[in-house]
A and B are shown apart, each in its own frame.
Chain A
Amino acid sequence: MVPAIGVLRYSFLDGDYLLDGHGFTLRHYLRFFSDTYYSSVLWDTFVDGLVVSLICLLIGFPVGYSLARLPPLARRWRTIIVIMPLTLSLVVIVFGWLIVLGRNGLLNSVLVNLGIISSPKTFLFARPAVILVLVQQFLPFMILSVMSVVTQIDPVLEHAASNLRANRLVTFRRVIIPLATPGILVGFNLVFVLSISAFITPRLIGGNRVPMLGSLIYERIMSEFNWPSGAAMAFILFVAGLGFTAAFNALAASRFVRGGRHAL
């Protein structure tokens, strides 16, 4: 918490270089909100965060569900694969993607050999690539959240549903998903907050073509050395993250997830 308060303090400093300046000004905030470039980056960042979270939910849910229902032995190596991207240094993962998506990388080489494209294409430095890499990074959080909540749902409930003539789709829609909603919300929230604050991935995969709030902050501070302005942007990011977390918590507590409490 202390760093966040420090950031808040510096964001009001009346200077443009390192810790120069003193006093109190809203200049950096005003600049941020009046320039359409920044507001479009802010908007894009939120949209990207939402897209990443939705994709993670869509493809993470089946994996998290199956992990929870697998016998321990089969669960083992799968869990290791899921944990690996969480534990491994982010730079290494991003580096891996650079060589997958690069001009002479794996993807181009496979596509050309299959005859789908005639010559290598540029995948890097584009929004889809950034979203793909963010999904891969944060997918484990979604999988683990879903897994932990599904573990607490007694499989007998599913048997009971099928005994009551529900097919799998109905069982999922009427039993599993309502009970798993708390885990889904936790995972969604985590992935969203992590995505909007990402800066390594947009910078290395997206280059200058795909600016996100995080990479702007990084540049402002580490290249331009405008600390007060960077602080203002970081604080906006922090508040946005907190706001979304609070909204998700409110949603989780509402009757929207009335089934959830029974699962826990």
Chain B
Amino acid sequence: MSKDFETSVRDPGDYVVELRSVSKLYGDAVAVADVSLGVGRGELVCLLGPSGCGKTTTLRMVAGFVEPTSGTVEINGQDMTHQPPYRRDTGMVFQSYALFPHMTVAENIAFGLENLNWTRADRDRRVSEMLNLVELPHLAGRLPSQLSGGQQQRIALARALAMRPAVLLLDEPFSNLDAQLRVRMREELRAVIRSVEVTTLFVTHDQEEALTMSDRIVVMNGGRIEQVGTPGDIYERPESPFVAKFIGWCSMLEGAVDPEGTFVSKLGLRLPGKWKAGPGSAVIRPEHIRLSPDGTAGHAREGRVVETHYYGGATRIILDINGEQLMMEERFPFGGHPKLGEKLNVTLKMDEIRVIGSP
């Protein structure tokens, strides 16, 4: 991705937010290293990674709370690298929402418009428009402390969108909500963003959030970008062991591909296929392994059950195949649950298994 970006010749209007070789160092510690990234108009891009990977620092550099050590930040084609936050056309939803506790909901939403010197009538009109957008017009006079978590989140969104910012920034906006509400708010937020067609940069450590909401995902690790792609790309064609492990569940086998294209693991498990020769790691997702009771179809193998974990909807089983431990998931009929040490016949979907070449 970063190579494409450097070589492509394009119209500067392509990207609403553009980071060029941005780095941030705190003393000797590297928070963000050489990150280049463009967010297109109307696109929803997600920064995904474990805590401490630099995703929040990157977002805060776009908002202007952190000044990059090197590199440039452009918003709408203008260099904003050294501009203070209050000169930037961004709207941010903070992790804690950061609603002003001494102002009502309406005053919170109007605060930014006041700073832009809007007239009172214009402000009132926009505030009620925003409250309608998030479907909470009856809460205008309330204080933030009188709202539920979900309501606070919607007000924070309304406040960030009231100025029609060039880019909406979301910093882990769901982390303060309980699991069920989180899923509902995710859908609502996606709908609101679609309806106002705002360019969005979104930070999360939750892969499910990233997969369901984004147009594009930027996976970060140790301050660097690991991979950029659509949710499908990231899940099905991971380019590094880190991405494969971080997104979804998988078993990873070390080994090499021989000249015929067959992957041979260190412990000698052979997976016939058409991969490129050389050392590499095979990424086997649980859904790549299926039960085949007759033991004949496809690349059949026999595995011994080493561990079982019951999850209600499905059972996760660790199988020992030729000494390699592989994870699979299956729904067993009531009473038909496999026992430890039992032998199971399974089929591997070779065409979906990916081998990541070693660098």
Q: Direct contact between A and B in the complex (CB less than 8 angstroms)?
A: no
